[in-house]
Amino acid sequence: MSGSVSSPDDAPPIVVEGLGIRFGDFVVHENLDLTVRRGEILGVVGGSGSGKSVLMRAIIGLQRASEGRIDVLGHTITGVDLDRGIGVRRRWGVLFQGGALFSTLTVGENVEVALRKYYPDLSPELRQEIARYKVMLSGLPESAVTKYPSELSGGMKKRAGLARALALDPELLFLDEPTAGLDPIGAAAFDRLTRELKETLGLTVFLITHDLDTLYEICDRVAVIAEKRIIAVGTIPELIATGHPWIEEYFNGPRGRAARDSHARAKG
Amino acid sequence: MEKSAQYSLVEDGAGGPRLMLSGTLTLAAIAPLERALHTMPGPIASIDLSGVEDIDTVGAWVVLQFARAHEAEITAASEAAQRLLGAVRGIEPGSEIHPPRLPAWERVPVKLGEKVYAARAGLYGVVGFFGQILIGAASLARNPARFPVKALVHQMELVGVTALPIIGLMSFLIGIVIAQQGAVQLEQFGAEALTVNLVGRITLRELGVLMTAIMVAGRSGSAFAAQLGTMKLTEEIDAMRTIGISPVEVLVIPRIMAATFMMILLGFYASVVAIVGGAVVGELALGIPFWTFLARIQEVVPTHDLWVGLIKAPVFGLIVALAGCYHGLQVRGNSEEVGRRTTMAVVSAIFAVIVLDAFFAVFFTEVGWG
């Protein structure tokens, strides 16, 4: 554990400055700035195709930035080969949109992959124990541990993906539309689980979502991507107060109002 | 400095010693401690966490399992440690993450039984698949307007036209090899003029069509299986069924027709190119002029040799396409299955083609086309 020395514990885990990403002539992001605070759940919203997933891929080093700089957990990601790198990968976990579970491995074996790669000195027994309790910590029944992804329902796949993201006890968790495609009960349960895990494990969560309920229920702050950059970051009332037309329509549209009302009812 | 986890034992009387843990109890540092705890003899009365600087769920899990094994009490846990212990406390210990596996003496008969059942199911599947194709063909015959002309032409291009260079090159080289090697042997009897007979008859009867079928199985049979298998996985085929489009009509029948028809042309083309290859060797190495070689072919090769090849070709094409489409549609589950089925499609197609070729060889000789 040499990596964490350079970052004091209260430094923001993600800092993006002046990020520019383009595919050929097509500009996805231009001069995008974003800071994620330690210990928060930051929701990222934006229209389809506004580059939410691209931003996440850039932060986790899967997408090269054309300009700008990204610091994650005190390490500069841009211009660095993460394969030969700095061990920062083992300090974050990623849940991809479709789960992206390795289809030829059981759920437990999926979780074990990263443990095996980064901590070969763990005894196999302990490694398997860890993998197993991570799966159950993600709210799956014991019987799911030895099942293959194709035998799981959509909601269970997301939980299995979450277990894999949590395999290394990360400080930082990236969730790409975790509740998309889940039924309302499953989505609410997943939101609760995210919140609980964040509190028990002390996680910082970067959460891309279209789900207004998720935004109201569990996000500490929300960042809005539009016009190729982050146009506003803040709590939902703060965002609405900016009066930006897109934000206005997003939160004050029929779905936005319904989510807000149900949130208000639940609170009061 | 590497962070690590330390432990010490303190004797304070009642019930056994107290285990003092300190340092970093995280995934990165836990391995040596866990090994030490594993072999530690009991009894341990309590576990003191007051010296722990950092802990994660892995540390909490290891501490908790140790406490459970020795019925020890955990004391002086920080707030964070208590939270993590609470999170993993509800989970029963266990380490099974692999699918259940039977012992070898049970597994062998079980696997054998499964294979037998799978073979039966496969037989049903093949018969059912033939039935589907017949039904699809019949309904297309009744509604010719529905016939997927575009798909057929596209498949004919993929199976036939784009295969011309590789099959041409292969056949040309085979022609050269047969002529050259044949000439070396026939020379010993002073019969190198018979090289023409050898090249002409063997390529038209056997090798032109057989090698082409193998090449088409590798090129197109595998492509059919992989395409249909992937479409099966992405639920495209289910989507077609829902809309009321028969996947057999729009996917399978064009491919089968294209492969069957193009095999005739490709087989003939391959034979012709192989003869040209032989003629080139004749010109360069045997002193038989190129055009004389071709003219001799006409005289020494009976027409029924051509028919033998042309009758076999569509049958081989049909087999290759059937195997590819059948295995593609059998894909279910995961992406590994696509690869497995593609391999099965190619292997079973080539095997069936070679077995049938042997049958044809005997049959045509017996009916007087020797």
Which of B31, B65, B98 shows the shortest C-beta gap to A106? B98
How high is the pLDDT of residue A86? Answer: 64
- Tokens representing B100 are 């259940």
Architecture of the structural domain at A13-91+170-231+242-267: 3-Layer(aba) Sandwich (3.40)
A126 contacts on B by Cβ (under 8 Å): 30-31, 34, 62, 95
Do A256 and A250 contact (CB within 8 A), yes or no?
yes
Cα B49 to Cα B66: distance, rounded to the nearest angstrom: 13
Which residues in chain A are closer than 8 Å to B86, comparing Cβ atoms? 200
Give the start-to-end residue ranges of the domains of chain B: 6-89, 110-146, 148-366
pLDDT reported for residue B13: 65
Q: Is the peptide bond before A237 cis (omega within 30 degrees of 0)?
A: no
**Taking Cα atoms as reference points, which of A224, A227, A228 lies closest to residue A236?**
A224
Task: Quote the pLDDT of residue A268.
Answer: 64
- ipTM associated with this complex: 0.80
Pairs of residues, one from chain A and one from chain B, whose beta carbons lie less than 8 Å apart = 101
Per-residue pLDDT of chain A (268 residues; tens, 9 = 90+): 333 334 456 689 999 999 999 888 888 999 999 999 999 999 999 888 888 989 999 998 888 888 899 999 888 888 777 776 667 888 889 998 878 888 888 999 999 988 888 888 888 889 999 999 999 988 899 999 999 988 888 888 999 999 999 999 899 999 999 988 888 888 898 999 899 889 888 899 999 998 888 998 899 999 999 888 899 999 988 988 888 888 888 888 888 888 888 888 887 6
CA-based nearest residue in chain B for residue A108: B97
Nearest CA in chain B to A196: B87
pLDDT tens by residue, B65-112 = 888 888 888 888 888 888 888 888 888 888 888 888 888 889 999 999
| Nearest CB partner across the interface for A106, out of B28, B65, B97 | B97
Residues in A whose CB is inside 8 Å of some CB of B read 1, 103-104, 106-109, 111-112, 115, 119, 121-123, 125-126, 128-137, 142, 145-150, 168-169, 199-202
Question: How is B139-191 classified by DSSP, letter by letter?
Answer: HHHH-GGG--HHHHHHHHHHHTGGGHHHHHHHHHHHHHHHHHHHHHHHHTTT-
- What the block records as the tokens of A7 is 């970052």
Least Cα separation, residue B301 to chain A (angstroms):
55
Partner residue facing A200 (CB), from B28, B35, B83 = B83
Identify the H or E element spanning A198. helix A184-201
Q: What pLDDT is recorded for position A219? A: 92
Token pair recorded at residue B241: 């069924």
3-state SS, residue B25 = strand
**Where does residue B145 rank: exposed (0-12), middle (13-18), buried (19+ CB within 10 A)?**
exposed
- Confidence band of B18 (pLDDT split at 50, 70, 90): confident
Which amino acid makes up residue B93? P
| CA angle, residues A37, A42, A47, in degrees to nearest 5 | 140
> What residues of B are in the A interface, CB distance below 8 Å?
2-3, 24, 26-32, 34-35, 38, 56-58, 61-62, 65, 80, 83-84, 86-88, 91-100, 333-336
CATH assignment of B6-89, given 1.10.3810.10, 3.40.50.300, 1.10.760.10, 3.30.750.24?
Answer: 3.30.750.24
Of B264, B365, B250, the closest CA to residue B320 belongs to B264
Q: Could you tell me if B173 and B277 are in contact, meaning their C-beta atoms sit under 8 angstroms apart?
A: yes
Cα A3 from Cα A138, distance rounded (Å): 27
Interchain CB distance below 8 Å, A108 and B87:
no
**Does the distance separating the beta carbons of B2 and A128 come in below 8 Å?**
no
Residue B7: its H or E element:
strand B5-10
Residue of B nearest to A139 (CA): B91
- Tell me how far apart the alpha carbons of residues B140 and B249 are, in angstroms, rounded to a whole number: 7
What is the side-by-side order of every strand in the sheet holding A75-76?
Answer: A26-36, A14-23, A67-72, A75-76
Looking at residue A123, its amino acid is: S
Which of chain B's residues have a Cβ under 8 Å away from the Cβ of A165?
Answer: none
The domains of chain A are located at 13-91+170-231+242-267, 100-169
Between B193 and B311, name the one with better pLDDT: B311
